[in-house]
Amino acid sequence: MYALEVNNLRKIYPNFTLGEVSFSVEEGQIAGLIGRNGAGKSTTLKSIMRLISSEGTVKVFGKDFSKEEGAVKELLGYVGGGFRFYPNKSLSVVAKTVARFYPHWDGTAFDRYCEEYALVPTKKVRELSEGMKIKFSLALALSHGAKLLLLDEPTSGLDPLSREDFCDTLLSLKEQGITVFFSTHITSDLMRVADQIIYLSGGTLLADEPLDAFLRRYRLKMFASLAEAKAARAIGAKAVKEGVEGLVMDISDGREATLDEIMIHLERAKKETV
């Protein structure tokens, strides 16, 4: 079953268009949304959450968001990169406030997640580190029974150890059957946890497939010159210290490319065709 189905999502701004983006995420999977700054990642997430108006349809576990909003929000948890509300309130007070909006709020589950994530309920929000704010947001979402988590750049601003801890948390949630869809520009996090990659470029969907399949499609090869790279139809060829590098689609040639390298060369190739 699909935890999330997005069909023909479209949002038009004066200087940017998110153009009829469609993809789906299977239940129990971790999917990463990638793209350079301004590619449409936050617009996509906000459109899914109906935080902004947009065209298209969104289904969560088969329920149409526009027609069953209340039921969908019970299943959905949103984390926008830390917790920015009620800075002078304690975690327990914030939890009581949030609980009023969810008929199936589970206080016992909240206490359990606080213990698991080393959250002290008497602490004030402003006393939490950025990593702990994210965990607090997750605890709130999971305590009302969220089965799908939408996370917008959750690791932005975190140090490497906190990001590692966050990735461990996502893998733990996956073991519990929770589906995660998160945007990030830190591709090393995706390499650790993601099952699926959804790649946006300039408001257009460039890829929607298993991460392993996406990585296997390309190899990185060095060339003696740009002319040699062009003759080999290398993608996004560019000069580097060792010579010229570009992506090739012959899996018997070159070396494995990282997600960063693939994105850099695909974006370069797209820019050259504009």
Of the chain, the percentage scoring pLDDT greater than 90 comes to: 72
Distance (Å) of CA 156 to CA 36, 153, 188, 216, 248 = 14, 6, 13, 27, 31
| Burial tier of 62 (Cβ tally within 10 Å: 0-12, 13-18, 19+) | exposed
Per-residue pLDDT, averaged over 264-274, amounts to 83
Give the mean model confidence (pLDDT) for residues 209-216: 95
pLDDT of amino acid 48: 94
Q: Domains in the chain, please, with CATH?
A: 2-211 (3.40.50.300), 217-273 (no CATH)
* % of the chain with per-residue pLDDT over 70: 98
- C-alpha pair distances (Å), 48 with each of 16, 103, 108, 212: 17, 22, 29, 26
User: How far, in Å, CA of 167 to CA of 184, rounded?
Assistant: 12
Mean pLDDT of 178-186: 92
Q: What is the pLDDT of residue 155?
A: 80
Band the pLDDT of 254: cuts 50, 70, 90: confident
32 membership: H or E segment, kind and range: strand 30-34
Displacement of CA 144 from its chain's centroid (Å): 21
More confident residue, 97 or 86: 97
Instruction: Pull the structure tokens for residue 270.
Output: 């797209």
Query: What are 40-84's pLDDT values in tens digits?
Result: 999 999 999 999 999 999 999 999 999 999 899 989 998 876 667
pLDDT bucket at 158, cuts 50 / 70 / 90: confident
**What's the confidence (pLDDT) of residue 166?**
86
Mean pLDDT value across residues 101-105: 90
Task: Give the model's pLDDT for residue 206.
Answer: 93
Distance CA 268, CA 69 (A): 40
DSSP letters spanning 29-68: -EEEEE-STTSSHHHHHHHHTTSS--EEEEEETTEETTT-
CB contact at 8 A, 32 and 6: no
What pLDDT sits at residue 19? 87
Confirm if 202 and 44 have CB atoms less than 8 A apart.
no
In the predicted model, is pLDDT for residue 245 greater than 90? yes
Structure tokens at 137: 């947001």
For residue 58, give both structure tokens: 């969104």
Q: What is the DSSP letter of 124?
A: B
For residues 153 and 183, the answer to whether their CB atoms sit within 8 Å is yes
pTM, rounded to two decimals: 0.89
pLDDT at 274 over 60: no
